[in-house]
Amino acid sequence: MSTAGYDQGFWDRYFRYYDALEQFEPYREMLDLVARLCEPARGVRILDVGAGTGNLLSRLRAAGATAVALDANDRGLARAASKGPSVPCIRATLDSPLPIRPASFERVTAVNVLYTLSPAAAERCLREVRRVLRPGGRFVFVTPVEGAKPQMVYVESVRRWWREQGPIGAARRMARVIVPTVAILAYNERIRRQGDQGAFRFFREVELREELVRAGFEVGEIGRTYANQAWIGSAVSR
């Protein structure tokens, strides 16, 4: 998930806490849905661009797929590689041609990646995704909606904990994740502020569809996930 202005230090710090998101149901449900849309199976090759710390890859590999991580961040790739034996990792940015042969994968995923790219970089990235997909291959994506409120992921989780475990159980769960939660919310607030200045992009559905069509995809249904704070959908390489 990179542009020429990629802030390595910011993502290094963010990734120290990122795996704490696995404690929150909306995050787990979002990754589970992405995995289902990929229809992973033995022999299916899947490239996860902007793989981060590899939480999606773990699900894809568990289903038997050959999943490859691509990211610009060394800390994220190291964490991804630690989550399974022989996880293939590619260090590359998304604002330049990917070091991958054409038609190498049946699926490509991008979870919370497109919003980090400038319009020009996003266009290049989507064309590269289409290039490395086999004809008829599927691109599965998640990206924050316009006006996204990431704190709702935590609010929704606490509501569920309260309903299922009562106030004491919910308080215990909250206590276990309070430090990484505060850190992640602080990073999300920085992203929001920089988004207001144009450093990050939060899509309306029509904008997302238009960019995918321009890149040569046939776009399917787009819905919401991640406590309704992100778009999720798939597109087929034409």
Query: What is the tens place of the pLDDT at every residue in 171-228?
Result: 999 999 999 999 999 988 888 888 777 788 999 999 999 999 999 999 999 999 999 9
Query: What is the tens place of the pLDDT at every residue in 80-122?
Result: 999 877 889 999 999 889 999 999 999 999 999 999 998 899 9
Calpha distance 160→114 (Å, rounded): 29
What tokens does 46 get? 């899947």
Under DSSP, the state recorded for 203 is: B
Q: What are phi and psi of 119, to 5 degrees?
A: -55, -45
pTM of the predicted protein model: 0.92
So where are the chain's domains?
8-148+200-237
DSSP-derived secondary structure for 79-130? HHHTTSTT--EEE--SSS--SS-TT-EEEEEEES-GGGS-HHHHHHHHHHHH
What tokens does 42 get? 């033995």
For range 61-67, the mean pLDDT: 94
Q: Are 189 and 118 in contact (CB under 8 A)?
A: no
pLDDT of residue 87: 87
pLDDT of residue 234: 98
What tokens does 234 get? 């798939």
CA atoms lying within 13 Å on the CB side of residue 163: 6
Q: What is the Cα 3 distance to its own chain's centre?
A: 16
Angle at 45 between CA 1 and CA 145, to 5 degrees: 35
Calpha distance 26→146 (Å, rounded): 18
Under DSSP, the state recorded for 18 is: G
Task: Please tell me the CATH superfamily of domain 8-148+200-237, with its number.
Answer: Vaccinia Virus protein VP39 (3.40.50.150)
Calpha distance 14→194 (Å, rounded): 15
